[in-house]
Structure 1
Amino acid sequence: MLAPPLVSPESAGMSKSGFDRVEAHLKTRYIEAGRFPGTQLVVYRRGKLVHSTAQGHADLERKVPVKPDTIFRIYSMTKPITTTAFMMLVEQGLVALDEPVHKYIPEWKNLGVFVAGTTPAFLTRPPARPMLIVDLLRHTSGLTYGFQQRSNVDAAYREKKIGEVEKAGTLDTMIAELAKIPLEFSPGEAWNYSVSTDVIGYLIGKISGRPFEQFLKEHIFDPLGMTDTDFFVPPDKAHRLAACYSADPQGGMNFHAADRKGTLTLQDDPATSSFLARPELISGGGGLCGTAADYLTFCRALLNGGELEGIRLLGPKTLALMTANHLPGGRDLPEMSRSLFSEAAYQGIGFGLGFSVTMDPAKTLIPGSRGEYAWGGAASTAFWIDPAEELIAIFMTQVLPSSAYPIRRELRTLVYSAITDSNL
């Protein structure tokens, strides 16, 4: 798809001075302060591209500036794309949300829930009910991420390198290893950010009968013209890949450090990055890289009820189902979450099928709208879609972890303050 032309913010009920404040904030508080190497922000409203600005560096060492076609590691912003692909299979009648996962992964039928012990000598109990497909989509499966660093189950994930930023093994070996590790809780009892969406990617391949990455290419990327989005960066585009940095002085991914020093450590050099080669493990939870323009195309299709310029991904009722809160009892993330880390942790935020969902803007203490849905990536990328305001915002940078700075909260406040003509 051709990107829409950039027009004046005023033509869509927003102000240029408001966006000037956003860019000044990013420049002074983050780029000049040494917190981010560079940033890209794209805002779309009422069918128009009203803001698109890149500033700072994509690669500090080589002094390469951020450009409109810079390729970023979007990490967990892969999840909404994977979930959309899976719901396409649901629409085809090939799978249902209330089916048990062990129907498709028989070796998981007897997965127990952790009681005590360490790998491989775990003491477990039977779950209260089987894990369902919907549990994978809403992160109530009992699976986890090793970087949570909260339990002996997390430690087993780290030992097997399951769900790491630098992927190990294949989807098949990941599924086999997970069969040997207990669940953190009985499915449906809690919310925990996890490798669930990687499992969804595995199921897409198994149910569709074609490789997961091929399904995405044939049914989403090629039809929408998302030519710069893939699980690796080919040689002819390698010069466009941004460097990735860590906010941790040791270059690690310390998700729990409260004191950030405003220094950056090179974490992934674009000249030697693992993203330059086709990976063995195709991660539906965090494996994609791409451009802001490509992700905007995907978001435009969602905002438009699942269709863009004659290419339909999903029906509007399916999308409405995905963007409703699916947490049991209508609860929000803070009520149900056991995660020490996730890409959203605000009061008044629930979780749908692949996205966080704003249930009560007043409880978030951040400007927004009921029904807004969003997610982000480990390297501080983020997006949100606000159907009520007909608005999409996409933010790109490359700094691990995304919990280092309150950039997402700040961006919402600043972008919404640029609205001069609200739909509400």
Structure 2
Amino acid sequence: MQFAHPDREEFVAEIKIEADPAESGFAADRLARLDDHFDAYVADGRLPGWAGLVSRNDKVVHVAHRGYRHVEKGLPVDADTIWRLASLTKPIVSVAAMMLYERGAFDLHDPVSRFIPAFGETRVYRNGPVHAPNTDAPVEPIRLWHLLTHTSGLTVGFWLAHPVEFMYAQSGYVWDAPPDVDLAGACEAWAGFPLLFQPGTAWNYGVSVDVLGRVLEVVTGKTIDRVLADLVLDPLGMTETGFWVDEADTHRVVPLYSPNPEGGRAVRNDQLSVLPTSRPTFLSAGGGLFTTLSDYHRFTRMLLNGGELEGTRLIGSRTLAFMARNHLPGGADLAAVGRRVMFGQPTYDGLGFGLGFQTVVDQARTKLLISPSEISWYSGYTTVFSVDPVERTIAIFFSSFAPVKTYPIYARFRQLVNQALVD
């Protein structure tokens, strides 16, 4: 999947202001607070740079680019900058999965082992050390809806807060997969690790959507890059989104930055700045996509418009509304069933999770200035979006910084967007 254009000379990824903020219910001076707040992050070195967009009624009312995409080379963030989506890949894969569900390819109650037999042998961690864990049989198998809701019991290797996570890390599954292991091979390995909990009983950030991506490969007979291209990226005209970047476009990509232990300024994280310039062996359905602000805005516009964009319908409006409901066990919020607070989100109180998106269960309980009807998601690399079908707003913030839990960026961003609504 290449970052290519029919005519590169004339291609401009510019997102232009399409509506006056005041006519769209925003106060321009209040929107300026968003820029002022995050400009301070760039000025004192906490972030290398950022890009943000706010739209309402499918019209862009505010867009900004600040700082550097490449600090060391002095290259500024601009409209053409390519960002590492990280976990913002997950909503795209979730939409693709539900598009196949609409075609009768599977049932949400189907066990994952129907598509990946190795998961028929997966056990659940009870206690014990990494080298000799005691495990139980699952009360029920991991089902497809468990993957979509992150309630499968799967985890990742970078948390290192539980013996199972050390098992992932010791086998080379920290941020990615070991060399020469593809998505199918990774799923075979993950099926061999115990689950953190019984499927469907708790929520945990992990490789659930990567496994879902492998299910889509099995269902379609195609690799996940082709699945996403055929179902989502090509129909939406997302020509700047893919799992790798052509050599000619590498100067447009933001490396990943992390805080310097001495002073906290953002410094390049070479370990996590690996940039594939050809098709990688491991295609991470949970976090492997690169994109531009313009491209991801097209995806969010489709969500805002109930599954359709510019005359092209990807998914049914009822299906999308179903995805936007809270699907956590017993209708609980993430504070009750989530394993940990993460990624610059100060609380999980009042927040739920649907089929691929975070939802709002109780706005007052969140103690966050967010809309009760929004769907959203964010990543460990400082990328976040929210879509509110009632207020008819879209908000996107991209940077390239980890660990984002260092700063309350996601809560601040949504707070600053919503305080600017005055109609």
**Shorter-normalised TM range:** over 0.9
Unaligned runs of 5+ in 2: 1-11
Q: Which one is further off, 336-345 or 83-92?
A: 336-345
Mapped pair 1:363 → 2:365: yes
TM-score (norm: length of structure 2): 0.92
CA distance in 2: counterparts of 1:338 and 1:365, whole angstroms? 20
CA contact (8 A) 1:193 1:342 kept: no
1:158 Cα deviation after fit: 0.7
Mapped pair 1:303 → 2:304: yes
CA contact (8 A) 2:359 2:375 kept: yes
CA contact (8 A) 1:114 1:153 kept: yes
Superposition RMSD on alpha carbons, in Å?
2.0
2:117 to 106, 109, 113: 106
Structure 1: which 4+ aligned runs deviate by more than 6 Å? 1-4
Deviations 1:347-396 (A, max 9, x none): 10000011110111111111122121111121111111111210000001
SS where residue 275 of structure 1 aligns?
coil
Deviations 1:37-73 (A, max 9, x none): 1111011101210011101111110000000110010
CA distance in 2: counterparts of 1:90 and 1:399, whole angstroms? 35
CA distance in 1: counterparts of 2:371 and 2:129, whole angstroms? 44
1:115 Cα deviation after fit: 2.1
CA contact (8 A) 1:357 1:372 kept: yes
Amino acid at match of 1:202: R
Q: Aligned ranges for residues 91-170 of structure 1 at < 5 Å?
A: 91-119=102-130, 121-162=132-173, 164-165=175-176, 168=179, 169-170=181-182
CA distance in 2: counterparts of 1:248 and 1:139, whole angstroms? 32
Inter-CA distance 163–103: structure 2 relative to 1 (3 Å threshold): farther
1:3 Cα deviation after fit: 7.4
Q: Aligned ranges for residues 259-338 of structure 1 at < 5 Å?
A: 261-268=263-270, 273-338=274-339
Amino acid at match of 2:156: Y
Mapped pair 1:175 → 2:187: yes
CA distance in 1: counterparts of 2:398 and 2:200, whole angstroms? 33
1:141 Cα deviation after fit: 0.5
CA distance in 2: counterparts of 1:3 and 1:297, whole angstroms? 13
1:56 to 64, 67, 78: 67
SS where residue 371 of structure 2 aligns?
coil
Deviations 1:244-286 (A, max 9, x none): 1012539xxxxxxxxxx4311211499x833333211111100
Amino acid at match of 1:266: R
- Corresponding residue for 2:79? 68
Amino acid at match of 2:385: F
Inter-CA distance 218–106: structure 2 relative to 1 (3 Å threshold): same
1:179 Cα deviation after fit: 2.4
Inter-CA distance 220–235: structure 2 relative to 1 (3 Å threshold): same
CA distance in 2: counterparts of 1:285 and 1:185, whole angstroms? 20
1:25 Cα deviation after fit: 1.1
- Corresponding residue for 1:257? none
Aligned pair count reads 409
- Corresponding residue for 1:194? 206
Percent identity, aligned pairs only, is 39
CA contact (8 A) 1:249 1:264 kept: no
Q: Which one is further off, 284-293 or 114-123?
A: 114-123
CA distance in 1: counterparts of 2:171 and 2:134, whole angstroms? 19
CA distance in 1: counterparts of 2:323 and 2:123, whole angstroms? 28
Unaligned runs of 5+ in 1: 251-260
Inter-CA distance 331–417: structure 2 relative to 1 (3 Å threshold): same
- Corresponding residue for 1:256? none
1:241 to 246, 253, 262: 253
Inter-CA distance 37–167: structure 2 relative to 1 (3 Å threshold): farther
CA contact (8 A) 1:140 1:188 kept: yes
Inter-CA distance 65–34: structure 2 relative to 1 (3 Å threshold): same
CA contact (8 A) 1:333 1:349 kept: yes
CA distance in 2: counterparts of 1:167 and 1:394, whole angstroms? 32
Mapped pair 1:77 → 2:106: no
Amino acid at match of 1:87: M
SS where residue 124 of structure 1 aligns?
strand
CA distance in 1: counterparts of 2:344 and 2:244, whole angstroms? 23
Amino acid at match of 1:74: L
CA contact (8 A) 1:74 1:286 kept: yes
- Corresponding residue for 1:41? 52
CA distance in 2: counterparts of 1:244 and 1:43, whole angstroms? 24
CA distance in 2: counterparts of 1:343 and 1:204, whole angstroms? 31
1:342 Cα deviation after fit: 5.4
